[in-house]
Amino acid sequence: MGELNRGQTQAVNHFKGPCLTLAGPGSGKTLVITLRTKALIEKYRVNPADILVVTFTKAAAAEMRERFARLMGQKLPVTFGTFHAVFFSVLKHAYHYTAENIVREEHKFMLMRDMVRKFHLDYEDENEFIGALLGEISMVKNLRMDIAHYYSKNCPEDTFRRIYMQYQKALHGQRLIDFDDMLVYTYELFSQRKDILALWQKRYPFILVDEYQDINQLQYEIIKMMALPGNNLFAVGDDDQSIYRFRGAAPGIMQMFAKDYKDAAHILLDVNYRCASDIVEKSGRVISHNKNRFAKKVIFARKGEQAVLVKNFKNQREQNLAVIAGIRKYISEGGSYEDIAVLFRTNTQPRLLMEQLLEYNIPFKTRDRIPSLYDHWIAEDIFSYIRIAMGSRERADFLRIMNRPKRYIGRDSLEEKTVAFDVWADYYAKNEQEWIAERIDKLAYDCKMLSNMAPYAAINYIRRGIGYDDYLKEYAAYRQIREEELVEILEELMAAAKEYPDYASWQAHIAEYNREIEEQSARAMKEEERVSLSTFHSAKGLEYDEVYIVDVNEKIMPYKKAVLEEDIEEERRMFYVGMTRARERLYLYSADIINNHEMEPSRFLREMAESGK
């Protein structure tokens, strides 16, 4: 980057008092933080041990520590750590906790699994359900909400409250804390014990916070207490890249800084050294449509016209083939797979793309856990119907689908390992329940019908002829989740099955796909050069020469759940983060048909052509 620009120089030379530094994408914020730490020590004679640099991930803290050591030519006792590491140090001194007191993820799941089973809750995917409940518990703690006024999205309110209380009681009983407790307990300790707070204020009179836009209210309150009385708090972040509202982060917290510290210095790092000028200009147009933000104009340091290519395709398959063609062209011209990323809004989007990348032998790695479509419980239900249609008489297949939709069949009617339809129906006929026997006969007829169908037609028949969609509607109402989310799995499964003429060829493809995914995962541990597949969330902080953003359609970007203006603004920030990962070229692709649904291009594409209000 050469010499520092005006904003960077101001930030590096800031000494005492609060300072809010707005750092746009590619503006050199890590360099500024390390150079300011150096200036505090060398120019202002601050003891290195008095400096605390806080960031969000272990990897970011380690990178900052290493960069600083290289810059200084030696290791100095500056503390570089995550919020959780710093707050755990506080609790360690106050309560003599050790690493053994931090609950392991698998132990958390075990505790929750026992509780969920005790309450006899109805769910299909246990891990998914427990993960959702733990997410709600985390949110309640981080927002310091009164549990009496919290309404769960996953189970009845009174049940959630009892689960929450029992989970906390179990942790207390075993002297364990989770990562959210680290924040809650530190806040409570500092609020109640001013003597302990004073020790930490004296310990770190200078505090620097990286990625400030990602902090939640609780983290902000704790850091604010620690920074007293000198308020030498140096906050670096970009409200336009605040994309963790589900964890309690919000651009409003950055704006709160300006209100809480009226004498704070305000510095703007407004030069983007990463992206070509066309990318800087067009991403700036998109984000300027947000109202809840600090007004700023980011300028470019690198010329690069026509760096953004927008294209629409008939369907996802054609869109993905264009991505593949672009990747192959880049590699043929001497580029590296490592310099390419394909970005998307949700972690289920790349499933079809992954299948197509495998077909063309393009190596890839996923930065998120991509759940397999074929492992979803809805897909397992469909496969059970198909296996029965193809002659399976395994009890497990029948138990899985006998009440999907509701037929009021009891498990005690299936005691044998194999099932015969006539014997099964006779069981109910003898018990004077002819109406259930008739439903078993209807199931037998439906399975016979399925046996002559192609996979696509079979799924359609299971949904509408047998009534599986009705079952999903009832299940969604009971679990208080969106029916649309479940139906999407069926739509995606139908799209995946469409080109296979029979069950055998489809199942062979699925087996081959699963085998190749396992091999890809094994090779990814050894080979460096691979295309990155990533959500916007996981791509934050990274950069690539070429970036493809796929499915740039309404209901995906912005996501269909985004209804309120604040939701749309968060979606726009995510898209902005995605756009600004690209150094040289940015490809924005949309499709007319996705999972059998007609789609419109995203409003964000229109906004690129106009300025904000």
pLDDT tens per residue, range 376-416: 999 999 999 999 999 999 999 999 999 999 999 999 999 88
- 288 φ, ψ to 5°? -65, -15
% pLDDT > 70, the chain: 98
- Cα–Cα–Cα angle for 412, 479, 385, rounded to 5 degrees: 50
- pLDDT above 80 (res 355): yes
Identify the band that residue 120 occupies on the pLDDT scale cut at 50, 70 and 90: confident
What's the pTM value of the predicted model, to 2 decimals? 0.89
Q: What's the average model confidence in pLDDT over 352-362?
A: 93
Average pLDDT score, the chain: 93
pLDDT digits over 461-517, tens only? Answer: 999 999 999 999 999 888 878 898 899 999 999 999 998 999 999 999 999 999 988
Residue 213 has pLDDT above 70, yes or no: yes
Tell me the percentage of the chain whose pLDDT exceeds 90: 80
Residue 104 vs residues 78, 96, 128, 135, 468: alpha-carbon distances, Å = 29, 18, 18, 15, 38
| pLDDT(613) > 50 | no
558 prior amide bond cis, ω within 30? yes
**Distance between CA atoms of residues 90 and 223, nearest Å:** 12
Residue 524 pLDDT level (bands cut at 50, 70, 90): low
Structure-model confidence comparison of residues 369 and 197, the more confident one: 197
| 527, pLDDT greater than 70 | no
Residues ≥6 apart with Cβ < 8 Å to 251? 213, 239, 240, 242, 292, 293, 573
Cβ–Cβ under 8 Å, residues 412 and 433:
no
The tokens describing 505, both together, are 């060829």
Task: Round to whole Å and give the CA distance between 478 and 490.
Answer: 19
Of 96-105, 118-127, 158-167, 503-512, the one with minimum mean pLDDT is 118-127
Contact 603, 558 (CB under 8 A): yes
The residues, any chain, with a CB within 8 Å of residue 70's CB and separated by 6 or more, are none
CA distance 384 to 404: 11
Token digits for 17? 């008092």
Cβ neighbors of 81 (< 8 A, separation 6 or more) are: 52, 53, 54, 55, 61, 89
- 98, 97, 96, 90: which is closest to 199 by C-alpha? 90
Which residues partner with 310 through β-bridges?
588
Q: What is the dihedral of CA 249, 252, 257, 263, to 10 degrees?
A: 170
In this prediction, residues 214-238 reach a mean pLDDT of: 95
Rounded distance between C-alpha atoms, residue 36 and residue 10, angstroms: 10
